[in-house]
Structure 1
Amino acid sequence: MKPTAIYSAALALALAVSSAFADTAVTDAQLQKFADAYRSIVTLSQEYAPKIKTAADAAAAEAINVEAQAKMLAAVEGAGLSKDEYQNIATQLRNDPALLQKVNDILQRTAAAP
């Protein structure tokens, strides 16, 4: 299995559309939670990609991928969002450049913090 599998899992988690929460208003607090979760997902992706790449076989790679997905979901929930809320925000970010800029600003601000 290629390292892209873990990135695909992260992308699927981030971009899947949930009709239950479609286009609801997003607060600044939710954007902060999203940014926190996103940062954790990126870190997990970087951690698990080499593990998947060096897995002994496809079954081992799949087991590692399942573990990574569970940790990504836990990161989302640990940041204070449900999977559906996270997915809804990710969907809105694709369609709203101003909202995307807000998240980028949060990520840059927190990355620069000591």
Structure 2
Amino acid sequence: MQEVEEEEDLPYPSRIFLGIRFFLHGFVPLQESEVRSKLVAGGGVDVGKYGPVCTHIIVDKILYDDSVCVAARSDGKTVITALWVDYSLDVGMTFDPSLVRFLLCS
């Protein structure tokens, strides 16, 4: 019972981001730290830079022509905004990133 109570005290106790290896791009430091904390608390792994192990590129703003975003799309990576992180936490599951609201390209 104690373990459950401790989990309830955590801001994001679920592990909905397990298996997601992310790279944050284009954020100001404070917002980057907040988004990273949410993802890591949910089981995600910050890979630190764009590369082959990265599964998701999460950007602050729509950076469609940015070289990192272009490369990521070319490599078949998921490129989404930070809104996806918050929405996934709100619904309690990893939300489908293919929705136009979050996805930067098709």
Instruction: Compare relative contact order (CA 8 Å, sep 6+) and give the higher one, 1 or 2.
Output: 1
Q: Which has the larger radius of gyration?
A: 1
Which structure dedicates a bigger proportion of its chain to helix? 1
TM over 0.5: no
TM-score where L is the length of structure 1: 0.25
